[in-house]
Chain A
Amino acid sequence: MTSSKNFSYSKTALLAGFSLFLASCATPPKPADSVDVDTHVRQPAEQDSAGVQVFPLKNPAVGGLLEDADRAESDGQYDRAAMLLERALRIQPRNPEVLQRMAEVQLSTGDYEQALNFAVRSYDVGPRVGEICSRNWRTIGVSRENLGDSKGSREALQRARSCMVTKPQGM
């Protein structure tokens, strides 16, 4: 993928509802207080799930975008990774893996609110069991902690550890 500098200093604007409130802020390449997703989410989730994984159906187009997003992420280009994941979500809006990746990218940029929301969405539509379940809850936990909700964070980590013992609920 090209252009490592292009998006580093880009602005991010968000449009919030019809109150027509709009805020715009700079997203620096790697915020000082960002979270290392591998240490806090992916590795412990792998342990929680004891190797058991629930793979959603892979769409090659989505798979390619995920690979590109991975590369962007490891180069620290989080904005670019987010754009690629948004493309993937236009193709498969309910793919729990893509939603969780988006949550992890938001975690890396320090946007804990969106990290939390994407992780919750991923859990809602996901298998609610196994490795992805644990990543969901660990992301929720880290986000809550950073948003000042320590109790909620502890509960989330508890849920993460029980992703292997709780059976799927709902329909």
Chain B
Amino acid sequence: MVPWALYLDHQVTTEFEGRKWDLPSRVYARALELYPGAVISPGDLRVELQAAGYRAAARVERPGQYRFSGSAVDVWRRAFHFHDGPKDETRFRVSLNNGAVASLRSQPDGRSIDLVRLEPAQIASIFPLQKEDRTLVAIADAPPLLVTGLQAIEDRNFKHHHGIDLRAIARAMLANLKARRAVQGGSTLTQQLVKNYFLTQDRTLLRKINEAIMALSLEAHYDKAEILEAYVNEVFLGQQGAYAVHGFGRGAEYYFDRPLNRLETHEIALLIGLVKGASYYNPRRHPERAKQRRDLVLSEFAETGLLSAEQARAAMARPLDVTASPRASGTRYPSFIDLVRHQLAQVYDEDDLRTEGLRIFTTLAPAEQEKAQAAVSGGLQDLGKRGLPKNLQGALVLADTSSGEIRALVGDRDPDRPGFNRALNARRQVGSIIKPLVYLLALEHPDDFSLLTPIEDEPVELRQPDGSTWSPRNFDGVSHGRVSLLDALALSYNQATVRLGLQVGLQPLVSRIGQLGVAADIQPLPSVLLGAAELTPLEVTQVYQSIANSGFSVPLRALVAVQAPDGDELVRYPMRLMPQPHRDAIGVLNYALTRVVAEGTAQGLPALLSQNVTVAGKTGTTNDRRDSWFVGYTRNRVATVWVGLDDFSPAGVTGSNAAMRIWGGLFAGLPLEPVDLAVPEGAYYLWVDPESGRLSAEHCEGARQLPFVEGSEPRKWTACAEKSQDRDKESIWKKIFGRDKQ
């Protein structure tokens, strides 16, 4: 008997001592910043509020509720520990006007405020392998009524017994004999905890004796507060899908959508009542039973003096107040979460994510993600109706131009389907998407090239490494003769691009792609000039982010910060700027890409957008119409869309008939800012005559302002400009460049 007891003692203390709860990690979207002038439509604000777990209410009476009235929204924000510190709950009113925040006032005092953040939407949990969901609570932070009430209901003698309560057992036995079945258990909280640890529910006598011995030894080794804290976090309180809800901390969130220390009396009573049978008394499924049980608990509170009779009556008069359905704790946006996990894997192993209770702050914008998903799913369905294959697949990456933060990511036409994530993993030939880099390399040689430099769009024959001859044709089958760099790019002429590419060099092109942030393995073959290089949509977005952001690359990222549950340890993923060489040439290319949309291969795009803003972009189509690409940007957003078939078979798609439509569908619904056309030091806008390639003046016919890298500008003047500039032609250079031209 003694060795056995020693063995059990060892077992239970090891279990208790080594007990470290596995806590799921929570993944959050970005926190929405609201300030006067912030661009957001009422519809988007509603989506954001709902994603963040807010509920529409007729009256805003508690945190987590909102109410639209006309163009104003009342919001009661919950307390939340943001990645840069905790913030209290706060009430405010947002007034919207013309798709933007017109004013922001705290409530009820009406004081105007400059800036407020919504707490971010929880978009996923990364659960422990044993599928337990839990939010840890320190016993010192638990509401006093929970601590005392739990003892009153489950174990009145907790403070005094040594692990087992003989009187309670006797009482239970008597009751069970009377009823001729087990109606009452005499288990102490300590015994219940032991039972939970060893996860068997069988009621054999031996098990009961073992349990009693273990309970006695737990009590011998640890104080009451430690045991109670373990109990409060261990007890089973419900089941959410595949995940078991353990502990009162998570229980409060699961049933009431609030932290435990914000619960009211009647809510605490309900949770305590659930200990007896979380499924039998499930308040969502069996509200009647749950109410009876809760009221019984409340009357026992009154009987034991924890509440006055008056307080108990008032609490009984309250409805259950559980939320209609629990907030989703599973994964909402599997493609994006995939990227999050991929980027987290650089620092954390899978086990940390499943057990450390990390709080993971990401860059996702729920309203934009929803639109991106709708654009891909709806767009592909629409293409199916237009005669393209019904099983087309698609991928989309949407990022903030300046910060590189990924706002939305779609990796499958069915956004809820986890699995192959095309946005991250589909390596496909990029077609003409690559061409702008050929032109960039040319513009980086201002002595030889400007946007007005003529090149030949004529047949070209090249010997391939395998001995065959490659003679690329243009999309329309026609050679266009002498064209400017600008027109060749805007109209995506293949023959002109190949000729230009051979001049600037294949190895420099491959190196430049690497410099722009893509580590893909690309062979420097002539066919690369027309996009025989395989990149993922995410990589394409990275390349174009640099161009869209005036040559300041920012590594695209899905993570902002990761925090331990106590809020102390923090790993930040800060915004890092990586300036590209030749930002002057990038500035000129940026302008040229707006011409692709204005008068080139993407000229169908403006009609797809509801707003009249300057947009830049490039279409891409691959051999036999296997892949359709569109990458485009505005001052605030850059996005790539890919469409094609998973088995690489011809799909009948072109850049403008498929991907561009989806891109346009998305951007039509986003608040857009026009492309930043400013050029950095070393480049200038000049009035020129594109026909003759000469310098012109504003008032001359056909004159147009084009950007030039210093040194690449035309030297000759049109007759019209010559006449008007004659007198001070010398000083023109001084005017433009601040010094004489050498």
Chain A contact residues, CB within 8 Å of chain B: 1-3, 6-7, 10-20, 22, 24, 59-61, 63-65, 79-80, 82-84, 86-87, 89-91, 93-94, 114, 117-118, 120-121, 123-125, 128, 166-167, 169-171
Contact of A118 (CB < 8 Å), options: B539, B570, B577: B577
Chain B contact residues, CB within 8 Å of chain A: 33, 35-38, 83-86, 114-115, 343, 346-347, 400-403, 405, 517-520, 538-539, 542, 550, 552-553, 555, 557, 559, 567-579, 583, 636, 676-681, 683-685, 707, 738
Q: How distant is B660 from chain A, measured CB to nearest CB, in Å?
A: 25
A10 and chain B: residue at smallest CB distance: B570
Further 12 A-B residue pairs, CB within 8 A, beyond A14-B573, A90-B405, A171-B677: A11-B571, A15-B559, A15-B576, A18-B542, A83-B84, A89-B575, A90-B33, A91-B33, A117-B576, A117-B578, A121-B579, A171-B707
Q: How distant is B257 from chain A, measured CB to nearest CB, in Å?
A: 26
Which residues on the A side are within 8 Å of B517 (C-beta)?
A: 17-18
B710 and chain A: residue at smallest CB distance: A169
Q: How far is the CA of A59 from the CA of B35 in the complex (A)?
A: 9
Q: How far is the CA of A127 from the CA of B518 in the complex (A)?
A: 33
Q: How far is the CA of A116 from the CA of B575 in the complex (A)?
A: 14
In contact, B347 and A24 (Cβ under 8 angstroms): yes
Contact of A171 (CB < 8 Å), options: B35, B553, B570, B684: B684
20 contacts between A and B (CB under 8 A): A1-B85, A10-B571, A11-B569, A14-B576, A17-B518, A18-B539, A18-B542, A20-B346, A20-B519, A22-B347, A60-B36, A60-B115, A61-B36, A86-B403, A89-B402, A93-B402, A117-B552, A117-B576, A120-B579, A171-B677
Q: How far is the CA of A87 from the CA of B572 in the complex (A)?
A: 13
In contact, A94 and B571 (Cβ under 8 angstroms): no
Q: How far is the CA of A167 from the CA of B36 in the complex (A)?
A: 34
Which residues on the A side are within 8 Å of B343 (C-beta)?
A: 15
Which residues on the B side are within 8 Å of A13 (C-beta)?
A: 346-347, 571-573
Which residues on the A side are within 8 Å of B576 (C-beta)?
A: 14-16, 114, 117
Residue among B343, B405, B568, B572 with max Cβ neighbours from chain A (10 Å): B572
Q: How far is the CA of A125 from the CA of B567 in the complex (A)?
A: 36
What 4 pairs across the A-B complex have the smallest Cβ distances?
A: A93-B402, A61-B35, A22-B346, A61-B115
Contact of A3 (CB < 8 Å), options: B85, B346, B578: B85
In contact, B679 and A170 (Cβ under 8 angstroms): yes
Which residues on the B side are within 8 Å of A1 (C-beta)?
A: 85
Q: How far is the CA of A171 from the CA of B683 in the complex (A)?
A: 9
Contact of B572 (CB < 8 Å), options: A12, A121, A123, A128: A12
In contact, B571 and A170 (Cβ under 8 angstroms): no
* A80 in contact with B84 given A13-B571, A169-B738 (CB within 8 Å): yes
Q: How far is the CA of A170 from the CA of B130 in the complex (A)?
A: 62
In contact, A12 and B679 (Cβ under 8 angstroms): no
Which residues on the B side are within 8 Å of A90 (C-beta)?
A: 33, 400, 403, 405
Q: How distant is A110 from chain B, measured CB to nearest CB, in Å?
A: 14
Q: How far is the CA of A59 from the CA of B115 in the complex (A)?
A: 10
Q: How far is the CA of A34 from the CA of B499 in the complex (A)?
A: 51
Q: How far is the CA of A124 from the CA of B569 in the complex (A)?
A: 36
Q: How far is the CA of A19 from the CA of B346 in the complex (A)?
A: 11
* A125 in contact with B33 given A15-B557, A65-B115, A114-B577 (CB within 8 Å): no
A86 and chain B: residue at smallest CB distance: B575
Contact of A2 (CB < 8 Å), options: B86, B114, B403: B86
Which residues on the A side are within 8 Å of B575 (C-beta)?
A: 86, 89
In contact, A60 and B35 (Cβ under 8 angstroms): yes
Q: How distant is B123 from chain A, measured CB to nearest CB, in Å?
A: 19
Which residues on the A side are within 8 Å of B539 (C-beta)?
A: 18
A60 and chain B: residue at smallest CB distance: B114
Count A-B contacts at CB 8 Å: 144
Residue among A114, A123, A170 with max Cβ neighbours from chain B (10 Å): A170
Interface of B is mostly: loop
In contact, B403 and A89 (Cβ under 8 angstroms): yes
Which residues on the A side are within 8 Å of B568 (C-beta)?
A: 6
Which residues on the A side are within 8 Å of B402 (C-beta)?
A: 89, 93-94
Q: How distant is A151 from chain B, measured CB to nearest CB, in Å?
A: 18
Q: How far is the CA of A120 from the CA of B519 in the complex (A)?
A: 25
In contact, B679 and A171 (Cβ under 8 angstroms): yes
Q: How far is the CA of A19 from the CA of B84 in the complex (A)?
A: 29
B559 and chain A: residue at smallest CB distance: A15
Q: How distant is A32 from chain B, measured CB to nearest CB, in Å?
A: 22
In contact, A12 and B115 (Cβ under 8 angstroms): no
Residue among B38, B573, B575, B678 with max Cβ neighbours from chain A (10 Å): B575
Q: How far is the CA of A90 from the CA of B681 in the complex (A)?
A: 24
Q: How distant is A38 from chain B, measured CB to nearest CB, in Å?
A: 23
Which residues on the B side are within 8 Å of A64 (C-beta)?
A: 114-115
B31 and chain A: residue at smallest CB distance: A87
Q: How far is the CA of A16 from the CA of B83 in the complex (A)?
A: 21
In contact, B578 and A171 (Cβ under 8 angstroms): no
Q: How distant is B72 from chain A, measured CB to nearest CB, in Å?
A: 19
B636 and chain A: residue at smallest CB distance: A93
Q: How far is the CA of A36 from the CA of B438 in the complex (A)?
A: 44
Q: How distant is A105 from chain B, measured CB to nearest CB, in Å?
A: 11
In contact, B115 and A2 (Cβ under 8 angstroms): no
Q: How far is the CA of A68 from the CA of B401 in the complex (A)?
A: 25
B517 and chain A: residue at smallest CB distance: A17
Which residues on the B side are within 8 Å of A123 (C-beta)?
A: 681
Which residues on the B side are within 8 Å of A166 (C-beta)?
A: 738
In contact, B681 and A12 (Cβ under 8 angstroms): no
In contact, A17 and B683 (Cβ under 8 angstroms): no
Which residues on the B side are within 8 Å of A79 (C-beta)?
A: 572
Which residues on the B side are within 8 Å of A22 (C-beta)?
A: 346-347
Which residues on the A side are within 8 Å of B83 (C-beta)?
A: 83
In contact, B571 and A171 (Cβ under 8 angstroms): no
Which residues on the B side are within 8 Å of A114 (C-beta)?
A: 576-577
A65 and chain B: residue at smallest CB distance: B115
In contact, B519 and A17 (Cβ under 8 angstroms): yes
Q: How distant is A142 from chain B, measured CB to nearest CB, in Å?
A: 17
Which residues on the A side are within 8 Å of B683 (C-beta)?
A: 170
* A6 in contact with B567 given A79-B572, A121-B577, A169-B738 (CB within 8 Å): yes
In contact, A86 and B574 (Cβ under 8 angstroms): yes
In contact, A170 and B33 (Cβ under 8 angstroms): no
Which residues on the B side are within 8 Å of A3 (C-beta)?
A: 85
* A15 in contact with B573 given A2-B86, A124-B583 (CB within 8 Å): yes
Q: How far is the CA of A94 from the CA of B676 in the complex (A)?
A: 10
Q: How far is the CA of A74 from the CA of B738 in the complex (A)?
A: 40
Q: How far is the CA of A17 from the CA of B681 in the complex (A)?
A: 26
Q: How distant is A144 from chain B, measured CB to nearest CB, in Å?
A: 13
In contact, B518 and A18 (Cβ under 8 angstroms): yes
Which residues on the A side are within 8 Å of B573 (C-beta)?
A: 13-15
B683 and chain A: residue at smallest CB distance: A170
Which residues on the A side are within 8 Å of B707 (C-beta)?
A: 171
In contact, B403 and A16 (Cβ under 8 angstroms): no
